[in-house]
Structure 1
Amino acid sequence: MKNMNQLMRQAKKMQEEIMKAQEALGERTVEGTAGGGAVKLVMNGHKELLSVEINPDVAGDVEMLQDLILAAFQDVNQKVTELTESEMGKYTKGMNIPGLF
């Protein structure tokens, strides 16, 4: 029974560390760009879009602007996914835990 209690304490400690890491991800920001910086998006580690910057020079061409926004979003989304996998991978070590991140 002593081993079970120790295992439960370790599991609780790991859960607390994971929760702290998830909170910290929400405070980190990542920037994605397209068109050589014509469109810039900033997203936090919880995949919440925080800001959009558009160079006025590309605002006249709506179709190109739409493509640039989509490309910038895909860029920032991929970077946040990589950040999340990197940070949370410390705890999961390759386990696929649905809903963790």
Structure 2
Amino acid sequence: MKNLQDIMKAAQNVQEELQKAQAKLDTIEVMGTAGGGLVNVRASAKGRIIKIDIDPSLLVPDDKEMLEDLLAAAFNDARAKADAASNEEMQKMQSALPLPPGFKLPF
């Protein structure tokens, strides 16, 4: 029965570490850019959008479609960087835990 208690304690530790890692992800910021820096989207590694910066030169009614494309590109760039930062943090957390070889956490 002691082995089961050890497993339960290890599972609780994993859950606590996962919660800490998830909280940390919201403090890591990434910057997505498009149009050579004309559009910037700042986001957390959790994917929360923090700020959007649009160069005033893009605020021309005739360029509406281009601005929309640049915003989408900047959002996608920020999302990709957020995913990369999240994966990196989760790998750090997973490597610090005493998990059996081949065991993967669900993320």
> TM over 0.5, yes or no?
yes
Unaligned ranges ≥5, structure 1: none
Q: Which structure has the bigger radius of gyration?
A: 2
CA RMSD of aligned residues (A): 1.8
1:65 aligned onto 2:67: yes
Q: Stretches of 4+ moved more than 3 A in 1?
A: 92-96
SS of match in other structure, 1:79: helix
Q: What is the CA deviation profile of residues 18-70 of structure 1, one whole-angstrom value per residue up to 9, with x for unaligned ones?
A: 10010000111111000110000011122111110000011211111111101
Note the residue ranges of structure 2 that are not aligned, 5 or more in a row. 96-101
1:56 aligned partner: 56
Q: Percent identity?
A: 37
Alignment of 1:1-101 (within 5 A): 1-60=1-60, 61-90=63-92, 91=94, 95=104, 97=106, 100=107
The DSSP-based 3-state class of the residue aligned with 2:89 is helix
Aligned to 1:31, the other structure's residue is in SS state strand
- Equivalent pairs counted in the alignment come to 98
Rounded Cα–Cα distance in structure 2 between residues aligned with 1:5 and 1:96: 20
Residue 89 of structure 1, CA deviation: 2.8
Deviation at 1:95, TM superposition (A): 3.4
* Higher mean C-alpha displacement, 73-82 vs 57-66: 57-66
Tell me, what secondary structure is at the counterpart of 2:37? coil
TM-score (norm 2): 0.83
- The secondary structure found in structure 2 opposite 1:27 is coil
Deviations 1:4-31, CA, capped at 9 Å, x for gaps: 1111111111110110010000111111
